[in-house]
Amino acid sequence: MDAFSRRGAIGAAAGGLLAAQAARAQGPAPAGTPNAPASDPRHRILGPQNEARQGQNPDLLTPPSTDHGTLPNLRFAYSDAHRRLESGGWTREITTRELPISTSMAGVNMRLNAGGARELHWHKEAEWAFMIAGKARITAVDERGRWFIDDVSAGDLWYFPPGIPHSIQGLQDDGCEFLLVFDNGAFSEDSTFMLTDWVKHVPRSVLAKNFGLPESAFENLPKEHLYIFDAPMPAAMQAEIPRSVEKVPVGFSHRMTAQEPAASGRGGNVRITDSSHFPASKTIAAALVELEPGGLRELHWHPNGDEWQYYLEGEGRMGVVGPEEHARTFDYRAGDVGYVPYAMGHYIENTGSGPLRFLEIFKSDHYADISLNQWAAVTPQALVQAHLRLPDGALARLPRDKEPVKPA
Ligand code: MN
Ligand code: MN
């Protein structure tokens, strides 16, 4: 460290930073946090600090003493993602470029204004969606020319199989915002097959022959693709249904939040939607978890793949344990994406003062988790006791039925 940066660091440490650290140390620690005191003089930071970021990352700044070794980064915030601004709305994505561990799935957060349309397109990946806010019109056509059209609102899902052409359009009064999840972490929303890209690169003579129209019919094709653009507001849904054509036999939409929770208790509740509830959704399964303040999504893992998470509301932290004693804790808040590599044990705790709501998403046709509580409850008790050495009678009180959420 040269004289200049040393003087700067000491000056800063002697001023506001020390005061801020002292203030943090006096504040209440989140319930059950085994973190060391932030004021421990051995762990003072003398150099530059981003107070706002550190305040959002208490478990990175001062990790719980149970953390050990290294894990890949398991969080990326949409607030740190580039936003592509278009005339009809905007989009931002978290792929393996942003979150390298997320090889199984990628996510796109998109807003369409009233009338704003995501142009007619298709892609090689399946597309699963959760409506965050507002209303949207979605359309698709399958390989036999059968139509699909629906109006969706907050809490609804859709699923478009790979290669199936589709569109999304924001409706009155304020369009919509939604989360898209693709079953390939390397997916990019910037590299889909778009109608206007295609016709732009086909000779007019071929377009004329294909559509049975004169070449002059194609004089007004857009010079650039439209992607997300202002389009006329659609008519009432009934008026847009094609006559004398069959509807797709398995619908591409589902009302997730209209489902009764699969599990609920004093700590919160869990809704599960997989292909047994939503038959079209053959490669994506999901759970919507709501935790009360202090509530815990219990210690568990998933036997069928990686978990991609999206935090809808609140603040929480996740502890993940891999093999060879690699254990790390990450903090999350609304708008963040989390990730759990295949089969790693984990828990999620609500560390905020309000509800914590998040989606668990899997590249699978079915939802599955293994509960540590249940495993211990239904394994020969003397064997489990030889491992855990709990007080007499404690094992007998563990629930044999799965309780995915626990109260504070
Ligand atoms: Mn799409
Ligand atoms: Mn999980």
User: Does position 345 have pLDDT exceeding 60, yes or no?
Assistant: yes
Per the CB < 8 A criterion, the answer to whether 92 and 207 are in contact is no
Does residue 370 contact residue 402 with C-beta atoms inside 8 Å? no
CA distances from 157 to 129, 131, 198, 340 (A): 5, 6, 28, 22
CATH topology for the 259-406 domain:
Jelly Rolls (2.60.120)
What mean pLDDT do residues 355-374 have?
98
Residue 32 has pLDDT above 90, yes or no: no
Nearest-ligand number for the alpha carbon of 270: 2
87-254 and 259-406 share one fold: yes
Q: What is the pLDDT of residue 312?
A: 98
Return d(Cα 338, Cα 74) in angstroms, integer.
6
Distance 74 CA to ligand 2 centre (A): 13
Give the number of whichever ligand sits closest to the CA of residue 160: 1
Q: Is 14 a residue whose pLDDT tops 50?
A: no
Rounded Cα–Cα distance for residues 255 and 130 (Å): 10
For residue 151, what is the DSSP state? E
- 44 neighbors 21 (Cβ within 8 angstroms): yes
Is 23 a residue whose pLDDT tops 60?
A: no
Domain ranges of the chain: 87-254, 259-406
Strand bridging mode 253-255 / 263-265? unpaired
Q: What is the pLDDT of residues 138-194, one digit of tens each?
A: 999 999 999 999 999 999 999 999 999 999 999 999 999 999 999 999 999 888 999
The rounded percent of the chain whose pLDDT value lies above 90 is 88
List, as ranges, residues with CB under 5 A of the ion ligand 1.
127
The reported pLDDT for the residue numbered 244 is 83
pLDDT at 36: 64
Which are the contacts of 36, defined by CB distance < 8 A and separation ≥ 6? Answer: 43, 62, 65
Lowest mean pLDDT segment, chosen from 141-145, 238-242, 296-300: 238-242
Contacts for 297 with CB less than 8 Å, ≥ 6 apart: 289, 291, 347, 348, 349, 404, 405
Residue 26: pLDDT over 90:
no
Distances (CA, A) of 284 to 137, 158, 307, 324: 21, 11, 11, 30
- 188: Cβ–Cβ under 8 A, 6 or more apart, which residues? 93, 95, 97, 106
Question: E strands along 161-293, which residues?
Answer: 166-170, 176-182, 193-194, 228-230, 253-255, 263-265, 268-273, 285-291
Closest to 107 measured CA to CA, from 96, 93, 97, 118: 93
Integer Cα distance of 117 and 170 in angstroms = 6
CA–CA gap between residue 126 and residue 282 (Å, rounded): 9
Provide the CA 206 distance to its chain's centre, in angstroms. Answer: 43
pLDDT the model gives residue 337: 98
Q: What is the mean pLDDT of residues 187-203?
A: 94
The pLDDT tens digits of the residues spanning 304-333 come to 999 999 999 999 999 999 999 999 999 999
Joined together, the tokens standing for residue 291 give 């935790």
Strands 116-122 and 166-170: antiparallel
Domain 87-254 indexed as CATH 3.90.650.10:
no
Q: Which ligand is nearest to the Cα of residue 178, counting in written order? A: 1
In this prediction, residues 186-210 reach a mean pLDDT of 95
List, as own/partner pairs, every contact residues 6-12 make where C-beta atoms lie below 8 angstroms and the sequence separation is at least 24, other chains included. 9/46, 9/47, 9/48, 10/46, 12/46, 12/47, 12/48
What's the pTM value of the predicted model, to 2 decimals?
0.90
User: What does the pLDDT look like over 57-72, one tens digit per residue?
Assistant: 999 999 999 999 999 9
CA gap 113, 169 in Å, rounded = 8
How far away, in angstroms, is 108 Cα from ligand 1 center? 10
Reported confidence tier of residue 40, pLDDT bands at 50, 70, 90: confident
Give yes or no for a contact between 221 and 151, defined as CB atoms under 8 angstroms apart. no
Q: Left if phi > 0, otherwise alpha if psi is -120 to 50, otherwise beta: which for 162?
A: beta
Region of poorest pLDDT, from 1-5, 51-55, 73-77:
1-5
Instruction: Compute how many other C-beta atoms are within 10 angstroms of the C-beta atom of residue 60.
Output: 16
Phi and psi of 103, rounded to 5°? -75, -25
Q: How far is the CA of 327 from the centre of ligand 2 (A)?
A: 15
Mean pLDDT of 276-286: 98
**DSSP letters of 282-304?**
SS-EEEEEEE-TT-EEEEEE-TT
State in Å: Cα 403 to ligand 2 middle.
13
Structure tokens given for 64:
């719980």
**360 is known as an active-site residue:** yes
pLDDT-derived band at 28 (thresholds 50, 70, 90) equals very low
Q: Which of 189, 292, 307, 360 is catalytic?
A: 360
- pLDDT given at position 39: 75
